[in-house]
Amino acid sequence: MYKNILPGLSGLLLLLTCCAATAQNQVMKIGKINTVNISGQQIKINAENAFAEITVYSPSVIRVRMDKQPLTADFSYAVIAKPVTTKTQIAQTDSEISITTDSLRMRITKRPFSISFFTPSGEVINEDEPGLTTSWIGNDVTTYKKMQEGERFIGLGEKTGNLDRKGEGYTNWNSDVFGYATNKDPIYATIPFYVGIHHHLNYGIFFDNTFQSDFNFGASNNRFSSFGARGGEMNYYFIYHPQMADIITSYTSLTGRMPMPPLWSLGYQQNRYSYYPDTEVMRIAQTLREKKIPADGITLDIHYMDAYKLFTWNKDRFPNPRQLTSQLKDMGFKITVIVDPGIKVEEGYAAYENGKKENIFLKYSDGENYTGQVWPGWCHFPDFTSMKGRDWWKGQIKSYIRDGVSGIWNDMNEIATWGQKMPDNVIFNYEGHPVTHQQGHNIYGLQMVRASYEGTREELKKRPFLLTRAAYAGSQRYSALWTGDNRAEEDHMLLGVRLLNSLGVSGMAFTGMDVGGFTGNPTVSLYARWMQIGAFIPYFRSHTGINTKSAEPWTFGEEVLEISRNYINLRYHLLPYLYSTLFESTRTGMPVMRTLALNNTFDAKVYDTRFQNQYGFGNAFMIAPFESTKEFGKIYFPEGKWYNFYTDAVIDGQQEVTTDLSIKILPVYVKESSIIPMQSLIQSTIEKPVDTLFLHIYKGDKTNTFVYYEDDGESFDNEKGVFYQRAITYNPADKKIVLEKTAGSYQSKFHYVKLLLHGFSSQKSITINGSQLSLQAGTHAFLSPISRFDPQGTFIPADSCLIQQATFGNSNELINVGL
């Protein structure tokens, strides 16, 4: 009997062996290296099954390209930088190739091809997973990286979930996700850049591939992290610096940084879906002014159009757009209008007829225009990956500027269509190198805002404000981004904070969310808390959807009105600080909203889900947001000393503190040695503050420098040197404050500076620009009383020391003038 069975088992084993071999053959690895060609800072490699190209971009950035086909001239919509001449040593032996710069070492093994990155002292930063490295399954390409012990991962832009992405997987495919869940993936934007953290080391990887891409940080496996795409090259940039901030700076040197925005766009913006007719828009504007709620913008959603047709106005609702925008301008309001890419297929409709004539629409592979259904009905879509398509759009968008519009809100640009399934055989021009929808999809939003920005800038001849929903890496060069159709729920408010923090790590410094929530109706307390948080995010817009209750600050009762007004007032007081922080973003890529991991990268507590929502607002503030229903909460204070913003009470760092919570006060703290410029209250940015800049300095143990920046807030003269820039340094060791010489030719709107020193009560004097001055005891309240119904709700004035008022302006020396 056994003799009959054994041959059968042998056959089964042989069959299983053959199946395994067949499966392995379906996974094609790059294999061993056959030939190596070294030229300057670049290495070209022919391997057993693929081709590779390694390029040193800078001392801290190395680019890796791999493909099954010979590599040709490449193209990127995201990367605008070119390699810089770098001192580079390249050597090889029979078994490996080594690349060494001043900042980084790279080793490539030859049998098989595998990559490792090291610090100059030899510590492993990142390495391919042995046995897996890079491989293809059909057209899908994936690189597998060994997960280091305790490794964390942050970034990837607009991704839901926790700050630390370890154990999760993510997909990049820009998607229209109305009312998305707090764990939904993907949503609207694709930014394939992340930071890995382990053993007091951190690195960045930017995977520049516009096909649908997937990132795995140990999801469903305990062996590797990986990143890959459904087509195209394996094309990534490896970035190493000891500090995470420098990694972000290097990443944004590759993909670009935001330009200075118009000052008005930092003011409070009021919106709903939708304000119409024009009399309703005027009512909102007048009420904001009557109730002394500072504001700079009102946004018009799709109901301003004629039957949702782009580049039209509904003449019944908005009979005279230019008159409306002119009246609002006189009141200190700018108008932003929404634009969607769909052009309705309708004979006689000017944009359709002209677009058809100019032949600028996306097409099927047989040359017929692609038609998809969206708000106006069946539509064609401009091809923004062609210069011709962008130029056509620029010409059309200028009509809004001629009507007095100041901002363009780019929506539905994922591309969103009913059914959410654009066919793969739609062809994108891609700058004269046609590609399918699979490759063109994720960059459509980027190219739309590029065209909108260029057209608006040309016609407005001032800085435009651009907002987008969909994005790809590099979108920060043209537009701010908001997080789409969120929900009026407590967990969505906190998710929004994490989304903005993640976007900040990923190069998007100018971001916002729909404050109050887009879908549904917020509770009274939720709205109040969200408005408080809104004062500490870059783009501050209250917005709600159709078929919801009105969501202006006065619609939630007197107490919420007072809370909202207090924090909007504070926002306007802080505009000099915020504007200067955004100037830093234009120079270094540093975000305004900063996850605590940015400056406390190796402190495990900042990744704790209890504390992951805390964030920095610039370099001075730490915001601790909580659900509006919480009566107490735990706050983690990182290393250093921290001041309660409202009382000046000092808290030592590296500890958890339980605090009482009140809907009247958002927990806000200031880092020791911080320098915060503030101004008097204004109702909009067309109003000039008083001519004294209030400079708050917090005593600490560390020297700190703040770069104060100012320009006219609207023109491009700042690009020609017409700005006011001044470094302000606090040196605690020498007990001195120095206002350095000014740079730029702009005349500051402030003639004087009043210094308010916090925590200096035991110090009798301080030296300012060489002059020793005595300190005077004083108080300073940041906000007005919380509620006239609650006498206990008044903020305790900060216990500060007051220094002399002195000249500011363009003086390079302080001259005491008394008070």
Positions marked catalytic:
411, 414, 485
Contacts of 792 (CB under 8 A, 6+ apart): none
Count other C-beta atoms under 10 Å from residue 11's C-beta.
10
Distances (CA, A) of 141 to 110, 212, 717: 20, 11, 46
Containing 335, the helix (H) or strand (E) segment is strand 334-339
Q: How open is the CA angle 517-511-383, to the nearest 5 degrees?
A: 100
Count how many Cα atoms sit within 13 Å of the Cα of residue 138 in the half-sphere of its side chain: 4
CA 552/CA 524 separation, integer angstroms:
12
CA 575/CA 570 separation, integer angstroms:
9
- Are the C-beta atoms of residues 492 and 500 closer than 8 Å to each other? no
Helices (H) and strands (E) in the chain, counts: 12, 53
CA 794/CA 796 separation, integer angstroms:
6
CA 595/CA 113 separation, integer angstroms:
37
Q: How open is the CA angle 441-443-447, to the nearest 5 degrees?
A: 125
SS3 category, 445:
helix
CA 181/CA 184 separation, integer angstroms:
5
SS3 category, 167:
coil
Q: Which residue carries 């300012």 as its tokens?
A: 768
Cβ-defined contacts of 768-775 (< 8 Å, 24+): 768/736, 768/737, 768/738, 768/739, 768/803, 768/806, 768/814, 769/737, 769/738, 769/739, 769/813, 769/814, 771/814, 771/816, 773/803, 773/804, 773/816, 775/801, 775/802, 775/803
SS3 category, 424:
coil
- Are the C-beta atoms of residues 109 and 128 closer than 8 Å to each other? no
Q: What residues does 739 pair with on adjacent strands?
A: 728
Q: Which residue carries 């919106």 as its tokens?
A: 271
Q: Which of 634, 625, 621, 615 is nearest to 663 (CA)?
A: 625
At residue 289, φ and ψ (nearest 5 deg) are -70, -45
How far the first Cα of the chain sits from its last, in Å, is 110
CA 407/CA 301 separation, integer angstroms:
12
Distances (CA, A) of 140 to 114, 130, 144, 229, 421: 19, 20, 13, 6, 20
- Are the C-beta atoms of residues 726 and 769 closer than 8 Å to each other? no
Q: State the virtual CA torsion across 11, 15, 17, 22 in degrees, nearest 10.
A: 160
Residue 176 CA to chain centroid, in angstroms?
Answer: 19
Contacts of 458 (CB under 8 A, 6+ apart): 394, 398
Q: What residues does 110 pair with on adjacent strands?
A: 113
SS3 category, 480:
strand
